[in-house]
Amino acid sequence: MKIATWNVNSLKVRLPHVLDWMAANSPDVLALQETKLTDDAFPVEAIAEAGYRCVYSGQKTYNGVAVLAKSEPVDPLTDIEGLDDPQRRILAATVDGVRIINLYVVNGSEVGSEKYAYKLAWMDKVTTWIAGELKRHERLVVLGDFNVAPEDQDVHDPEAWHERILCSTPEREALGKLFALGLSDCFRKFEQPEQSFSWWDYRAAAFRRNMGLRIDLILTSPPMTEACTACTIDVAPRRLERPSDHAPVVAEFVL
DNA sequence: ATGGTTGCGTGGCAA
Reported as a single tens digit per residue, the pLDDT across A156-171 is 999 999 999 999 999 9
Residues of A carrying an active site annotation: 104, 145, 246
Beta-bridge partners for A101: A92, A142
- Encode burial over A82-107: b for 16+ CB neighbours within 10 A, e otherwise: ebebeebbbbbbbbbebbbbbbbbbe
- Give me the residues near strand B, CB below 7 A: A 9-10, 12-13, 36, 60-62, 106-107, 109, 115, 202-204, 242
Q: Please report the pLDDT score of residue A48 as a whole number.
A: 98
Task: Give the separation between CA A49 and CA A75, rounded to whole angstroms.
Answer: 23
Determine whether the annotation assigns residue A34 to a binding site: yes
> Residue closest to B9, CA→C1'?
A61
Determine whether the annotation assigns residue A162 to a binding site: no
pLDDT band at A155 (very low <50, low <70, confident <90, very high): very high
For A215-250, what is each residue's pLDDT tens digit? 999 999 999 999 999 999 999 999 999 999 999 999
Strand B nucleotides where any atom sits below 7 Å of a protein CB: 4-9, 14-15
Please report how many Cα atoms fall inside a 13 Å half-sphere around the Cα of residue A138, on the Cβ side.
6
Q: Which nucleotide, over all strands, has the C1' atom closest to the CA of A37?
A: B8
Reduce the DSSP state of residue A238 to 3 states and report it.
helix
Q: Kind and range of the H or E element at A39?
A: none
Residue type for position A161: W
Percentage of chain A with pLDDT > 90?
100
Q: Please report the pLDDT score of residue A125 as a whole number.
A: 98
C-beta separation of A218 from A191 below 8 A: no
Task: Give the separation between CA A118 and CA A132, rounded to whole angstroms.
Answer: 22
Domains of chain A: 2-253 (3.60.10.10)
Determine whether the annotation assigns residue A210 to a binding site: no
Cα separation values, A146 from A74, A161, A229, Å: 24, 16, 22
For A133-147, what is each residue's pLDDT tens digit? 999 999 999 999 999
Determine whether the annotation assigns residue A201 to a binding site: no
CA A204 to C1' B3, in angstroms, rounded, equals: 9
Q: Which nucleotide, over all strands, has the C1' atom closest to the CA of A38?
A: B8
pLDDT mean over A173-196: 98
Q: Which nucleotide, over all strands, has the C1' atom closest to the CA of A206?
A: B4
Q: Which nucleotide, over all strands, has the C1' atom closest to the CA of A205?
A: B4
In chain A, count H helices and then E strands. 6, 14
CA A227 to C1' B13, in angstroms, rounded, equals: 43
For A66-92, what is each residue's pLDDT tens digit? 999 999 999 999 999 999 999 999 999
For A3-60, what is each residue's pLDDT tens digit? 999 999 999 999 999 999 999 999 999 999 999 999 999 999 999 999 999 999 999 9
CA A120 to C1' B3, in angstroms, rounded, equals: 28
Q: Please report the pLDDT score of residue A86 as a whole number.
A: 96
pTM over 0.85: yes
Cα-only R_g, chain A: 17
CA A134 to C1' B7, in angstroms, rounded, equals: 36
CA A113 to C1' B11, in angstroms, rounded, equals: 23
Determine whether the annotation assigns residue A137 to a binding site: no
Q: Please report the pLDDT score of residue A221 as a whole number.
A: 98
